[in-house]
Structure 1
Amino acid sequence: MKKAAFCLTTMEIQVFTMDSFTNLPFKGNPAAVCPLAHELNDDLYQKIAAEMNLSETAFVTPINPSDTFTSGSRFCLRWFTPTVEVNLCGHATLATAAVLFQHKKNINPTLVFETRSGDLAVSKKKDGYLMDFPLNPPTQVDSKDFQDIIRVTVGTLPVQDVFLSTNMKELMIRLSDSCDSSVLTGLNVDPAAILGIDTKGRVQGITVTMKGAPDSQPGYDFYSRNFAPWVGIPEDPVTGSTHTILGSYWSKELGKNKMLAYQCSSRGGELELEVRDDGRINIGGEVVTVLQGIIRL
């Protein structure tokens, strides 16, 4: 008796791991980028993102079926953490543009990505890339309303300001100017303890920030760290989307539109910011390729 023949079809998906907001490998924030000829289903996106296990995995597809990754100027872009899809991600957008410019040899000076947060443009510049993002001004809140989560996050450190971005569900805690930057870099935050605090759904991320030392080299205007265990990210190494909030806040506090920021996680990353008069913000940074491969399904 002849055995039945089975034909197994294998799907191959190209994947890149890019370190964003740095010019050194293993620094900045790693993102996985998957260029796709056409959209896949959400369940598969989420499984791939969980497998990659980075803060975000980006999936990019051409808007026009006749476009290629080399010729096209508009693309659809989606971002997934290991557990959920998110509405805005800076470092994975930067990484996606770098893949198209560097590895796909895209011929356009500017690429536009259609996303959950509207159109996001990324342009090449002399060193790295420049992203055109929406600005998200936060609103000052009473620290007493968030005293439990503030205590779990920063302990007894002196707090100067507490702000909330309602549309991004991001709580921003500014430490007192009396604190040294080593206090922020040495902060030990327990993600499980954060998740144990009831914030009534108002918070899905926490940013701790403090004033920098712009008069000393390299002259950072402010520092920050970001924690988002609600979306599967205990600590995000360098968070472009959070700087749409931080940029708005610190621009007013410092009285300047152009700023240099440093996110002082263990990996660390540098962001160039320019708050514009049209209610948007330019976020600049460099990108390094650390991995290129194939996902076989």
Structure 2
Amino acid sequence: MRSLLSFTREIIQNRKLVFQFSINDFKARYAGSFFGVLWAFVNPLVTVLTYWFVFGFGLKAGLTDGKYPFIVFLITGMVPWFFFSDTIMTSTNVFREYSYLVKKVVFNIRILPTTKVLANLYTHLFFILITLIVSAANGFFPTAHTLQLFYYIFCLCAFLTGLTWITSSVQPFFPDVMQIINIFLQTVMWTLPILWSPSAFSPRIVSVLKLNPLFYVVQGYRESFLSEGWFFEHWKMSIYFWVFTLGMLLVGAMIFKRLRPHFSDVL
């Protein structure tokens, strides 16, 4: 708990550095390409359009309840997933990517995973705006429920912070963790209500799938975009999510504290 509180305090104290570092990281990621930061938006858009074409016009799988246009149903679930998957991939490798800073005693490397979360948040906010436009074009306009997006963004950032503290601390000692995460992402996406509606499965199966904390976030995003309900209506899932996330934050802080002194030996 002391490590977690120390983490939080240092991020707050270095908030200006974190913000500036995240902007530089976002720019540097595409600095060597011709179209620059445009690629940050093109790749997810192509993915959405591909799924829309295949499942909306091709397969006609019937996994949604037909209550909403498929493009609206799809994009409201894909937006949080893009943020999660991009952040976990970029943050896990952060200490190896910035190994020259890790070896500097004067630099506080604790903030590095957080800068990656923030750098991916910029693209995420853009896609939230696109989703609001697409939803409005299909007759689903923002309401008071839409304000819940701020809450669910905070949920996802907190969850990612704890998870990336773990993965980024382990990666220098076990590089194969990146391959494991790739497999993890390919598998987990299909267990989340992104391309399917919970009403398409039995309550028993859905109750098992809800054990994944991301289920709570993805469903919360969709309910916020489509004004389906308030987060406090799912108070049991809210408690479960925050207990799980707090536990992961504590574990992440502990793992970083134990492994930090040995980073320079393996990088």
Normalized per residue, which structure has more helix?
2
TM-score exceeds 0.5: no
Select the structure of larger CA radius of gyration. 1
TM range (shorter): under 0.3
